């Protein structure tokens, strides 16, 4: 596919849309080439930390929390691999279909590549009402971000941790220390 090419999968609410994310979540960029390198190195350190925590969790840790941690870990590794190697093995895809292993080399050095995003769910589209103070009359599209499997894995892992926080971090009865009652 070429950059921004898309085709519908299910009607008007789910598309495969090819885009390349040059930065981090939602396309935010961080300080040019040095920022990209710093972001890539931070991701690697964070994944090492997450992996260490996952592999040292006690056996009594809730199974759901372990699954959520594994989703976050796997998604982060997927995005790191994409960012590290995609720029080395493909050429620029702007106004053309990218070539795998071009003779002249890829478009970016190690750890400077872009992450490919492809899922787009434009669920609801319209205009804000005119009476709305800041955005009145402006066009909106609900669920604008384009994402990939790794992003979804990270988002579901974090979302389920928030959703089931009390269940995952439930204290055992003997761990609860009661404060003495003042008489």
Q: What share of the chain is helix, strand, coil (3-state, %, to 5)?
A: 40, 20, 40
Catalytic residue among 12, 33, 130, 151: 151
Do the Cβ atoms of 94 and 3 come closer than 8 Å? yes
Q: Active site includes 117?
A: yes
CA distance 73 to 18: 24
CA distance 175 to 179: 13
Catalytic residue among 12, 33, 117, 130: 117
Could you list the active site residues? 117, 151
């Amino acid at each position: 596919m070429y950059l921004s090419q898309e085709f519908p999968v299910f009607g008007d609410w789910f598309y495969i849309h090819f885009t390349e994310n040059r930065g981090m979540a939602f396309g935010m960029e961080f300080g040019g080439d040095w920022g990209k390198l710093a972001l890539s190195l931070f991701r690697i350190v964070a994944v090492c930390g997450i992996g260490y925590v996952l592999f040292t969790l006690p056996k009594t840790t809730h199974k759901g929390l372990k699954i959520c941690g594994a989703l976050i870990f796997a998604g982060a590794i997927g995005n790191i691999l994409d960012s590290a190697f995609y720029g080395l093995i493909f050429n620029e895809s702007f106004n053309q279909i990218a070539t795998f292993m071009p003779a002249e080399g890829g478009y970016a050095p190690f750890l400077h590549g872009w992450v490919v995003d492809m899922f787009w769910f434009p669920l609801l589209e319209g205009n804000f009402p005119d009476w709305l103070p800041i955005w009145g009359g402006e066009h909106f599209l609900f669920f604008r971000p384009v994402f990939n499997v790794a992003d979804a894995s990270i988002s579901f892992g974090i979302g389920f941790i928030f959703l089931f926080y009390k269940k995952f971090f439930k204290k055992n009865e003997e761990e609860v220390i009661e404060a003495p009652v003042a008489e």
